[in-house]
Amino acid sequence: MYGLTGQVAFDDDGFLNISKFHVRNLVYDGRQSVWQDIGCVQGKEVRPFGIIWPGDAKSLKAETEGKKRYKVVTNPVQPFVMTEAPHADYGTCLSDTPCLNLTNKVKSQEVVWQAIEAYENGSTAESGLFVIQCCRGLTIDLLNKLASDLDFEFTLYIVQDETYGQRSSNGTWSGIMRDLTDNTAHFAVAAFSITNQREVAIDFTDPYFFSGFSIIYSDRTRETSMLAFLEPFSTKVWFAILVSAHITAVCMALFEWNSPFGLNPWGRKRNKNYSLASGLTMVFSVLFGHTVKTKSPKAWPSKVMQNFWAFAAIFIIASYTANLAAFIAGKHAGINYYDIQDPRLQDIRIGLLPGSAVHDSLKNGGSKLVSVADRYPVPKTDEGIDWVIGRFLVSACWKVKDVVFYHTHL
């Protein structure tokens, strides 16, 4: 079979049996970038013409002295970048990648360069400029593979404020974004999400991990309070019921005391008197459904008021019973938030990492959740998870990958 490119043949698996490719490399000739043929592949035969690698090297395995060295910034977030202390016996990182944790947290390009230069010149942590830690994780593995394939060296350091970067009102950045925009670091490797604002300021590679947003929250406590019987109604409702009961008792006592037909020392001069205590006894006995000995009012206004209160007590008791059943059923049920826009999230202590992709996305979307979360700013992802476990925060919103990792390893 022949096509526009020549003869075409396929094997049983659908792969081309006859294939021919020209391999080209984009090089700079002093004036512009041009494509240059560097080889040809035909079938299983490979014929290279010669490649000029970065650094004008004739082979991929160039000498160490000719390698380019880059300053790389990162931010520890499990499972992409994890840090630990060097080996206790050897004082070095045996299998992990050394990374510098700067002791001077003043955000300055000179501070970072001074520490990196001291490390590259052979200074140890005793200089006081940095502490050597061992970094590992998915992102670190990708960095080492990239350095091996492209034949470069790097000095890895942890961003001083351990944030990805938030843009201020005057247009400046913090965190990793600041190190990149002011050329403190050549590039960054981290769980660094692509957002519109960041993409305007810096360039991103193709994504190596895709993730959404998720919510992590602490389990409800199963302890029952001694005042649990009050929880079906709010404080305002209980206050309204008590005020209504006392107003009803006072009105009945006044009606009965001033009526010519009531239980009072004058008028018909009955043997019993209807006092405020009599009204309170009647009101609360009707409300709580207890049959205790009470004095029945004789005046018509008092009788109307008593019947009105009995009618209201029926609705109060019915509402309390229904709410009590719902409260008991819901107390032992799990929490189920529908999505990130669930209005119930605005009534709890929820935390967000300032400057994170989650924070920026919710802020740009006009979510009210941002104003609630700003009351409880989370300094780092790890600390935010610990706050939820320690119940300082009820809930926190992170990327799905972070939530899944912590949920698996707790």
Query: Which parts are annotated binding residues for L-glutamate?
Result: 193, 198
Structure tokens at 294: 């009470």
The residues pairing with 84 across neighbouring beta strands, listed in sequence order, are 134
319 vs 33: CA distance, rounded Å = 79
B/e letters for 1-32, b = 16+ CB within 10 Å, e = fewer, are: eeeeeeeeeeeeeeeeeeeeeeeeeeeeeeee
323 vs 241: CA distance, rounded Å = 15
Structure tokens at 178: 């600041």
CA nearest neighbour of 278 among 308, 309, 257: 257
Asked if residues 100 and 213 have their Cβ atoms less than 8 Å apart, the reply is no
H helix runs in 19-84, sequence order: none
Task: Output the CA angle 331-401-375, nearest 5 degrees.
Answer: 60
Most distant pair of Cα atoms in the chain: their distance? 127
Question: What is the DSSP secondary structure assignment for residue 252, as one 8-state letter?
Answer: H
Residue with tokens 């960054």: 188
Residue list for the binding site? 193, 198
Please tell me whether the peptide bond between 98 and the residue prior to it is cis, using omega within 30 degrees of 0: no
Would you give the distance in Å from CA 182 to the centre of its chain?
28
Radius of gyration (Cα) for the chain, nearest Å? Answer: 37
Backbone angles phi, psi at 179, to 5 degrees: -60, -30
Would you give the end-to-end CA distance of the chain in angstroms? 60
CA nearest neighbour of 369 among 344, 391, 336, 390: 344
76 vs 288: CA distance, rounded Å = 60
198 vs 294: CA distance, rounded Å = 76
Residue with tokens 């320690």: 390
Asked if residues 167 and 177 have their Cβ atoms less than 8 Å apart, the reply is yes
